[in-house]
Amino acid sequence: MPQRPEPTSLSGQPYPENCNQVSKSTLRRVVGASFIGNFVEWFDYAVYGYLAVTISHVFFPEADKQTALLLTFGLFAISFFVRPIGGFIWGHIGDRVGRKNALSLSILIMSAATFAIALIPGYNTIGIWAPILLLIIRVVQGFSAAGEYAGASAFLVEYAPANRRGLYAAVVPASTATGLLLGSLIALLLSVSLAPDQLNSWGWRLPFLLAAPMGLIGRYIRVKLEDTPAFLALEKEDEAIKAPVMAMFREQWRPLLIAVGAVVLNAVGFYVVLSYMPTYLSEVVGLDASLSFIATTVALATYIGFIFLTGMASDRFGRKRVLITASILFVVLTVPAFMLLGTGNFVVIILVQILLGAMLTLNDGTLPSFLAELFPTKVRYSGFAVSFNLTNALFGGTALFVSTLLINVSGSNLAPGWYLMAAAVVSLVAVSLAKETSKAPLKH
């Protein structure tokens, strides 16, 4: 069988093969550095989502229960609107200055902002300034988060063995789920060990205090790494372009549109299935809050295992096939799954959450490698960051708010399921228009 020719730079010299010149110890440190940054980011988002009811009492005590919850989720959504701006800026830094530099700075900003949330006095102490300060910090978090997921995915894909890019990139959503899992466990521990007054006054602050030490550890690991072989090759050949974002729009508009559509299911599904679910189960289905956290925790634990299986499956069967399968399953099974959640049976709820999580991993575990492979090295960070963050701003950050609003407007507890099904249709169309990327060399 004839061998595939090596990709070459402008000088005609081959780029270094991703993994052949990288030691196993370096690969382990790359995986660790990528894991911890996303872990810190999504631990914060998990805690905010899982303690949303408590946070609404602290920052909006004068509003009625449902309005306070909507305002809390509204702040959650607003912080996402800055993410496209962050995507442009972090994409420029990552493609122009380097992946390592962008990731080292983003984790520092994220951990500092998360820590600051724990220090904000409540509404009863400083009045309207409490939600205003919370909003400002959430915006800072949204900006820093815009560089994290995309950068870590590009970092891993550019370091990974060519035939295992899907598995290595799956570390990113696995770290996300691990952050959610720890957030769920801590929320459960706080809800069962503290009285409501204790939780409202100081207990909710404890998880946010953990961000500072975790962020410093992540930054230390990242600054000790070299940048990826692919980016170093660009620098050596002086091929890193001065305006990568503009080049992306000019030369990569079709992959960009496909990427935006492909992310829709991930954006809505991730927040509905993994972040909104405890609130849905306790506030809509009527399940005890502690049982809601237990069900979500069990689902998240299985989700992490499914993620790596999905990464391996995408390496073997292709990104496109796995992503299309995910979309079809969500179109067919989402609404029936929400019907079963409405039964209130605890065992059924756990099984349904495991099913929804497994379906989501088919998308979530494949998407990082798919998006990174869509774009060439010179605009990979920008293409990933802009498409991922723009879609999450429009559909991910608003998913909790929209789900709550749709239930109120329609009067149907199945409304989030229909919303998730519609998102799956959009992603199905987008992925169907893409080319398979798993077996091809990375674009340079």
**Which residues partner with 8 through β-bridges?**
14
| Tokens standing for residue 108 | 């520092």
pLDDT given at position 26:
79
Question: What's at 342, amino acid-wise?
Answer: G
Task: Answer yes or no: is pLDDT of 71 > 80.
Answer: no
Instruction: Compute the 3-state secondary structure of the chain and give helix, strand, coil in percent, each to the nearest 5.
Output: 80, 0, 20
Nearest 5°: phi and psi at 14?
-70, 145
In percent, the amount of the chain with pLDDT more than 90 equals 27
Query: Cα–chain-centroid distance for residue 341?
Result: 24
Yes or no: say if 76 and 191 are a contact pair by the CB < 8 Å rule: no
Q: Is 7 helix (H, G, I), strand (E, B) or coil?
A: coil
CB atoms within 10 A of CB 127: 11
Task: Find the mean pLDDT for residues 287-312.
Answer: 85
Higher pLDDT, 167 or 248: 167
CA distances from 174 to 3, 38, 161, 361, 368 (A): 34, 9, 19, 9, 11
Distance CA(215)–CA(315), nearest Å, equals: 31
Q: Which amino acid is at 76?
A: F
pLDDT at 332 over 90: yes
Percent of the chain with pLDDT over 70: 91
Categorize the per-residue pLDDT at 63 as very low, low, confident or very high, splitting at 50, 70 and 90. Answer: low
What CA–CA distance (Å, rounded) separates 161 from 177? 24
Output the pLDDT for position 51: 78
- Taken in order of first residue, the domains within the chain and their CATH numbers are 24-432 (1.20.1250.20)
Region 182-210: mean pLDDT is 83
- pLDDT-derived band at 240, boundaries 50, 70, 90: low
pLDDT at 444 over 90: no
Please check whether residue 366 is in contact with residue 434, taking contact to mean a CB–CB distance below 8 angstroms: no
**Both tokens assigned to 410:** 């329609």
**DSSP assignments along 81-150, one per residue:** HTHHHHHHHHHHHHHHT-HHHHHHHHHHHHHHHHHHHTT---HHHHTTHHHHHHHHHHHHHHHHHTTHHH
Q: What is the crossing angle of helices 24-50 and 148-159, to 10°?
A: 160
Q: State residue 4's pLDDT score.
A: 39
Task: Indicate the pLDDT class of residue 58, thresholds 50, 70 and 90.
Answer: confident
* Mean local confidence (pLDDT), 97-121: 86
**Inter-CA distances, 18 with 24, 144, 161, 206, 313, Å:** 12, 27, 6, 41, 21
CA 193 to chain CA centroid, Å, is: 29
What would the pLDDT profile of 130-182 be if each residue is shown by its tens digit? 888 888 888 888 888 888 888 889 889 988 888 899 999 999 999 988 887 88
Q: What is the mean pLDDT of the chain?
A: 83
> 388-429, pLDDT tens digit by residue?
999 988 898 788 788 888 888 888 888 889 999 999 999 999
> Does residue 7 register a pLDDT over 70?
no
pLDDT of residue 182: 85
By three-state DSSP, how is residue 32 classified? Answer: helix
The closest alpha carbon to 38, from 295, 225, 214, 168, belongs to: 214
* b/e map 191-222, b = 16+ CB within 10 Å: beebeeeebbeebbbebbebbbebbebbbebb
How high is the pLDDT of residue 59?
82
**Over the stretch 336-364, which tens digit does the pLDDT of each residue have?**
999 999 888 899 999 999 999 999 999 99
Structure tokens at 92: 């420029």
